[in-house]
Amino acid sequence: MALMPTTRPSLLSKSRLLFIAEFADRFAPKVIAELRGRLEADGSSPFWEGLGRHFFAMEYSTADYLTGIGQKSFIAELMPKHPVYVNLLPPAAREAIGAVHTDTAPARAMLEQEGFRYEGYVDIFDAGPTVECFRDNVDAVRRSAVLPVTLGEEDPVPDSLTDNVLWLVSNREFQGYRALVTAAPPRVDRFPLLPYAAAALGVGEGDSVRAVPLAPRDR
């Protein structure tokens, strides 16, 4: 039974949803995800070149960095206060509205499978889409369950694994949150973990974890 760290971007995103499920009271009723917009091979943004550059004396990468470190006041200070007609933008800028970066496409697909929807809102810099979903309607939140842990054998019999499916499992610690992918039967009352998987999560016999079975598309 192999233990797999959640290194795939889509699984990393799903592990964040499991975190939301565990600490729901810390999140608003509606969850919003901002996705990276379309960029050219040289790193330039068609939307920025068509709109933002007319108002900001900086490169797209600089503006993106400043917002990433929390310096966002310049947006309100420099961006136009009135609506901008999309038809007046260059074709490349118009086509970039609501489009995602190639590397972000799997994350968008995963979020849409989880119930997130694009409602027409985009990032002001690269026009990447903002997708949203009510917290309690997110698939991973709705289907996840808190289960007590039972420690299994170090070397399970291969025949006993044939009916297993992959699960995303996390501990319930806010500060030391960890998640991993492991195999288990499709329906369990107690979640079976091998000792090294339990150690990776920082849990033991009788502790509880939050778990959700992965859909076939994620396995």
> Which residue type is seen at 205?
E
What is the rounded average pLDDT of the residues 3-14? Answer: 63
Residues marked as catalytic: 101
* Radius of gyration for the alpha carbons in the chain, expressed in angstroms and rounded: 21
Exposure letters 18-29 (e unless 16+ CB within 10 A, then b): bbbbbeeeeeee
Per-domain residue ranges for the chain? 30-136, 144-218
| pLDDT for the residue numbered 8 | 61
| Residue range 194-217, pLDDT digits in tens | 999 999 999 999 899 999 999 776
What is the rounded average pLDDT of the residues 38-55? Answer: 90
Give the architecture-level CATH label for domain 144-218: Beta Barrel (2.40)
| Residue range 11-24, pLDDT digits in tens | 888 899 999 999 99
1 token code pair: 């039974």
- Pick the closest to residue 210 from 152, 145, 165, 166 (CA basis): 145
* Helix or strand holding residue 211 (H, E): strand 208-213
Say if strands 145-151 and 129-134 run parallel, antiparallel, or are unpaired. unpaired
What is the rounded average pLDDT of the residues 181-204? Answer: 94
| Residue range 111-168, pLDDT digits in tens | 999 999 999 999 888 999 999 999 999 999 999 999 999 997 765 554 455 678 999 9
Model confidence at 3, in pLDDT bands (50, 70, 90)?
Answer: very low
Model confidence at 180, in pLDDT bands (50, 70, 90)?
Answer: very high
Strand arrangement, sheet containing 4-5: 4-5, 179-184, 165-170, 208-213, 145-151, 191-193
154 token code pair: 């170090």
Predicted TM-score (pTM) of this structure: 0.80
168 token code pair: 């995303």
Q: What percent of the chain has pLDDT over 90?
A: 62
- Do residues 152 and 137 make contact, with C-beta atoms less than 8 angstroms apart? no
Q: Over 90: is that where the pLDDT of 74 sits? A: no
